Amino acid sequence: MNQNMVKKLQKMQKEMQEAQKEIEQSIFYGQAGGKAVEVQFNGAKEMQSLTIDEDAFDLPEELDMLQDTITAAVNDCMKKIDDETQSTMGQFTQGMPGMM
């Protein structure tokens, strides 16, 4: 491998690491049930907050619905993180066989 190619790969690796770090520091929001449940995660998929609209549920009778709504909100947020990661990191792997 020639020196020029090595430098290009090193530069691309550094840019990928910076992009991944930026994603991990970003905040993503997910919601379900018409904002009855809202979650906030960082790009490293660590939950930062969970908000439940107390008027949206008649607890304890609707506990199952609340749990399902929380799950849906978390899944919504995880999809947003995955979409952003793929969109951002895809620029580095586009056209490279076997990558993303």
Q: What is the CATH number of the domain that holds 60?
A: 3.30.1310.10
What is the rounded CA–CA span in Å between residue 91 and residue 65?
Answer: 40
- Cα angle, residue 17 at apex, residues 26 and 8 outer, rounded to 5°: 140
- Cα angle, residue 41 at apex, residues 39 and 45 outer, rounded to 5°: 130
Look at residue 54 and tell me if it is in a domain: yes
Total domain count for the chain?
1
pLDDT at 87 over 90: yes
Look at residue 8 and tell me if it is in a domain: no
Do residues 30 and 48 touch, judged by C-beta distance below 8 A?
A: no
Q: At 2, is the pLDDT very low, low, confident or very high (cuts 50, 70, 90)?
A: confident
What pLDDT score does 1 carry? Answer: 67
Look at residue 41 and tell me if it is in a domain: yes
pLDDT at 48 over 70: yes
Do residues 48 and 27 touch, judged by C-beta distance below 8 A?
A: yes
Helix extents (H) in the chain: 3-25, 63-93
Look at residue 10 and tell me if it is in a domain: no
Look at residue 39 and tell me if it is in a domain: yes
Look at residue 70 and tell me if it is in a domain: yes
More reliable by pLDDT, 93 or 11: 11
More reliable by pLDDT, 96 or 26: 26
> Taking the model in full, what pTM does it have?
0.77
What pLDDT score does 86 carry? Answer: 92
Look at residue 67 and tell me if it is in a domain: yes
* Mean pLDDT over the full length of the chain: 91
